[in-house]
């Protein structure tokens, strides 16, 4: 009788492909020996946070770089090492990692930081999910920070998505304004928009002294090494010889996105397992690339208004049916009017369509650039997709209201 004979037969208890799939999860924090090509950046982050080891205020730091260049990974990894080293000096360091794409209001950010660092037995306060105003959440945050930590490191991923940057001013000046007296706060802001600081309010610019660091994209060789460091996520012999080089090459085609490379590798393994195949091959990788791109685009547009999807669909049609890749707002608007008619949508004004395109650019769904028309003729915006149009169309047509467009093709 095997160990699994008394288990529910609905589920699988052996995995012929993965030895430890967690190594391929985005939330997994690898050890320093698995981090590739970021020694200089790691040292710069360590230099900024070094004072925290001794209970002093760390330097604030803004980190810029494209998606998948290791910004969040290095920030979390170095912070975790600071926490460990500080313990040798009886210094308590805690950190709060916040995705501002999901939590972008002042109240939600302050509440989350307080919940992550608070110990009610030490602070004497609790931090409820709801029921308090922003000012009350700040009061509980200051109590939690002062009583539960010597240093709090706040990592704000996608900091450019903040609804209000006032939270940066209040966090950075908490000690100076005597909100806290026995602790300090350091801020790491992460963004793929290098001009983000230009859009901060003057009050924040004057109060938030910081270092800045840019992460360059990984090259194909570095991506190969990153994936090799995760080979043990699979059983021995499962990966065919060409899987890792192909995965790295596909991810390097755009801008050296390690996150995308790891996603493709994981999805390739899942596809092989779903097909009951014992080896992951190049065919699985190619199928996984399409799935990965569709999943990521779906995440970007999830919850988008249907009018925005109709505008994106219009840009997709133009891209598919032209040798051009960039289109001015006027051309997109003309195509959109036809799409809106097919969908029986109210037709928005050209100005509103331009605003929605700008919003999609801000969300990294598309890329928009302003081009001059010549002396005295002003400038206009041109817009392009960032994903393969076939992928974009497939995802957009998942919306039941837009699905009718597939029948009209």
Paired sense of beta strands 93-99 and 151-157, if any: parallel
CA distance 19 to 238: 10
CA distance 269 to 271: 5
Instruction: Give one DSSP letter per residue of 171-215, joined into a string.
Output: HHTTTTTTS-SS-EEEEEEEES-TTGGGGS-HHHHHH--EEEEEE
CB 54 within 8 A of CB 271: no
- Residue 15 is encoded by which pair of tokens? 């995995």
Report the interhelical angle of 350-362 vs 329-343 (nearest 10°).
100
Is 309 annotated as ligand-binding? no
Burial class (CB in 10 A: 0-12, 13-18, 19+), 216: middle
Is 186 annotated as ligand-binding? no
Number of Cβ atoms within 10 Å of the Cβ of 174: 22
Is 281 annotated as ligand-binding? no
CA distance 248 to 261: 6
Is 72 annotated as ligand-binding? yes
Is 206 annotated as ligand-binding? no
Torsion on CA atoms 168, 182, 48, 101, rounded to nearest 10: -30
Residue 178 phi/psi, 5-degree rounding, is 60, 30
Is 240 annotated as ligand-binding? no
């922003």: which residue's tokens? Answer: 134
Instruction: Give one DSSP letter per residue of 288-300, joined into a string.
Output: HHHHHHHHHHHHH
Residue 317 phi/psi, 5-degree rounding, is -60, -45
Alpha helices, H only, 275-369 = 282-301, 306-320, 329-343, 350-362
* Long-range contact set of residues 325-334: C-beta below 8 Å, sequence gap at least 24: 325/384, 325/385, 326/369, 326/382, 326/383, 326/384, 327/382, 327/383, 327/384, 328/380, 328/381, 328/382, 328/383, 329/353, 329/354, 329/357, 329/380, 329/381, 329/383, 330/380, 332/357, 332/383
Is 70 annotated as ligand-binding? yes
Give CA angle at 215 (84, 381), nearest 5°. Answer: 140
Best CA proximity match to 382, nearest among 291, 315, 322, 307: 315
Binding site feature residues: 69-73, 218, 230
Binding site feature residues for ATP: 69-73, 218, 230
């Amino acid at each position: 009788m095997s160990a699994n004979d008394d288990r529910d037969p609905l589920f699988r208890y052996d995995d012929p492909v993965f030895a430890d799939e967690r190594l391929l999860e985005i939330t997994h924090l690898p050890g320093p020996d698995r981090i590739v090509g970021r020694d200089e950046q790691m040292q710069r982050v360590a230099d900024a946070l070094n004072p925290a080891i001794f209970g002093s205020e760390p330097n604030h730091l803004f980190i810029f770089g494209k998606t998948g260049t290791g910004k969040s990974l290095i920030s979390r990894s170095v912070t975790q090492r600071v926490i460990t080293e500080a313990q040798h000096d009886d210094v308590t360091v805690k950190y709060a990692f916040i995705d501002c794409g999901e939590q972008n209001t002042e109240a939600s950010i302050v509440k989350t930081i307080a919940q992550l660092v608070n110990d009610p037995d030490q602070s004497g306060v609790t931090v409820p999910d709801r029921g308090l105003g922003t000012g009350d959440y700040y009061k509980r945050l200051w109590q939690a920070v002062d009583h539960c930590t010597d240093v709090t490191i706040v990592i704000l991923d996608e900091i450019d998505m903040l609804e209000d940057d006032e939270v940066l001013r209040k966090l950075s000046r908490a000690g100076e304004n005597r909100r806290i007296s026995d602790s300090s706060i350091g801020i790491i802001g992460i963004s793929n928009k290098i001009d983000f600081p230009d859009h901060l309010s003057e009050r924040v610019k004057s109060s938030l002294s910081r270092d800045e660091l840019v992460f360059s994209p990984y090259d194909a060789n570095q991506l190969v090494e990153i994936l090799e460091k995760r080979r043990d996520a699979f059983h021995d012999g499962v990966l065919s010889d060409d899987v890792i080089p192909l995965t790295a090459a596909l991810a390097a085609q755009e801008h050296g996105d390690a996150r995308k490379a790891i996603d493709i590798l994981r999805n390739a393994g899942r596809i092989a397992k779903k097909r009951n195949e014992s080896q992951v091959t190049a065919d699985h990788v190619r199928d996984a690339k399409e799935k990965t791109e569709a999943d990521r685009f779906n995440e970007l547009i999830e919850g988008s208004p249907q009018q925005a999807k109709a505008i994106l669909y219009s840009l997709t049609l133009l891209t598919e049916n032209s040798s051009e890749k960039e289109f001015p707002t006027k051309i997109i608007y003309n195509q959109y009017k036809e799409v809106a008619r097919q969908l029986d949508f109210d037709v928005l004004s050209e100005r509103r369509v331009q605003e929605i395109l700008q919003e999609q650019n801000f969300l990294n769904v598309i890329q928009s650039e302003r081009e001059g028309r010549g002396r005295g003729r002003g400038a206009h915006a041109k817009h392009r997709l960032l994903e393969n149009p076939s992928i974009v169309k497939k995802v957009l047509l998942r919306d039941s209201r837009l699905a009718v467009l597939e029948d009209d093709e």
